[in-house]
Chain A
């Protein structure tokens, strides 16, 4: 009997990975070089290569701009973009909903509420100045997901696009009213509080980059390993249960990983909306919906996307810098409407 040709597609092919990584590296060099003071690409690359080899940096202004300000910022932007995008991809699979994302569900607002409470009430852990806002952001992100999803399940078991968006909007409004309340009572800290709600990575340091890298390695690793389970959820939760997926434990694992990662991102860069919505949507057009390909590609695609958004935020109103969240929300809101319109047309 002749075997029909069934090509293998389980894993992402090597050339495609190389392409995604090459694009990301090119965007990286571009974003480090271009700015209010532009540095030639060749010099940028040799400076970065020298820094990696541990050489003493030359005492030029270009070297100091790149190594002490732009490089940590761009690295943090890339890692945040990668982290938010893999979270978006995982949530969209888990909930079988192409509009699910930390910002549309209200998880990011929840996380920023946690961070703001930590700032306003001075919650810190001794010896770890960052940990107060970070842990609070993570806890609030997880609590937000649990609240939103249990409300959504109560309202409509199939978690349709409409009810999720509705609850996400209502939850975000609820959170922003709480934020206003806190700002009223803690007006002396208004400047740092505004930062969380706008989203900016202007002051990012190498230490932030390291924190992001560790969080991404741990939580991203957990999510990447669950690619088969997420595929099953993306086809349908009932179908996932019927083929033998431990639905409860997978759902809990994904929600914990996603909220921890969003919590870390928000505690470092504030709420940067819609990245997790835009990236997986565009990447899915190239790789298809299989999470074995979608999630790794979203890492690289998300890093590239957010670096470009950050470049736009720096350059559009130069010398004035826009918050990066403004740029991503502008792009994201338009795309949101397009996806929503299309999904409505398909379902009707």
Chain B
């Protein structure tokens, strides 16, 4: 089943075309990897899909234009995990995870339902945060904080998960943990993932489909192994990344 359909997406900042005429689609069960060098417009593409930046072109979720969904309704279908999480207040871990259930709250006076409680407990268990449930988010490490927001999105339980370089600041062990959790999540029916990755070895290890971006345009789109070829990467990155990547891939397998 086709989940997301993006047609002729363009984003301009002033007179600068950050993203130009990008089209792609995501089917149920797929994991689309968006790769490309710095400044290629990877993050901007997913921000536009998540309606966080002004854009032209259409984004259809299950055949319906995303702008026609109400914010809560859209959040039940599409979840976004971004790269930076600076927290200012001493919220407890479970409070931040519980916010993921906002999309399901109805009236003002309706409290938390049993389904909400269960979803939060499940998300904390899945991400291994049960022990930290009552801890302040100000006291967590970068990796732990990233897992809190991953748990929040699991509690939100969307159909499509959009990840914007989710493991940017994390070391290899944490990256592997986060990607394995997402891989497990994706296997259930009615789910798909789009992620922006910097690390091409991650794209090869987990992706089913790839969108290679270069200077705001789609340079290639298709199965990961066909898109991330030595010649194409040479062209886009202007260096021999393939060989370097294979070295990284060995590191992954060693973990």
Query: Hey, which bits of chain A sit against chain B, CB under 8 A?
Result: 3-4, 6-11, 96-98, 225, 228, 231-232, 234-236, 238-239, 241-247, 284, 288-290, 343, 346
Contacts and interface: CB of A to CB of B under 8 A. Distances in A.
B74 to A, nearest CB: 7
B77 to A, nearest CB: 10
B111 A243 contact: no
Contacts of A8: 112
A4 B124 contact: yes
Interface string B92-106: 101110111011010
B52 interface: yes
Contact of A6 (B51, B80, B124): B124
B44 interface: no
Contacts of B70: 246
Q: Which of A8, A238, A242 has the most CB of B within 10 A?
A: A242
Interface residues of B, number: 45
A7 B93 CA distance: 12
Contact of A288 (B72, B76, B80, B90): B90
Contacts of B72: 244, 246
Interface string B110-151: 011000010011001100001001100010000000000100
B59 to A, nearest CB: 15
Contacts of B85: 236, 239
A137 B102 CA distance: 35
Contacts of B15: none
Contacts of B82: 238-239, 242
Given A4-B130, A10-B112, A242 B79 contact: yes
11 contacts: A8-B112, A96-B88, A234-B88, A235-B96, A236-B85, A238-B52, A242-B82, A243-B99, A244-B76, A245-B102, A289-B91
Nearest to B112: A10
A128 B189 CA distance: 65
A118 B117 CA distance: 53
B255 interface: no
A243 B112 contact: no
Nearest to A231: B99
Interface of B: 50-52, 70-76, 79-80, 82, 85-92, 94-96, 98-100, 102-103, 105, 108, 111-112, 117, 120-121, 124-125, 130, 133-134, 138, 149, 152, 156
Given A96-B88, A244-B103, A6 B76 contact: no
Contacts of A343: 88
A305 B50 CA distance: 44
Given A3-B121, A4-B133, A241 B52 contact: yes
Given A232-B102, A242-B80, 9 more contacts: A9-B95, A10-B98, A225-B108, A228-B102, A238-B82, A244-B71, A244-B73, A288-B90, A343-B88
B163 to A, nearest CB: 11
Given A236-B85, A289-B89, A241 B120 contact: no
Given A6-B117, A241-B71, A234 B91 contact: yes
Contacts of B130: 4
A231 B91 contact: yes
A7 B130 CA distance: 12
Contacts of B105: 228
A111 B94 CA distance: 39
A83 to B, nearest CB: 21
B149 A239 contact: yes
A231 B95 contact: yes
Contacts of B94: 6, 9
Contacts of B74: 244
Nearest to A292: B95
A98 B102 contact: no
B53 to A, nearest CB: 11
Contacts of B51: 241
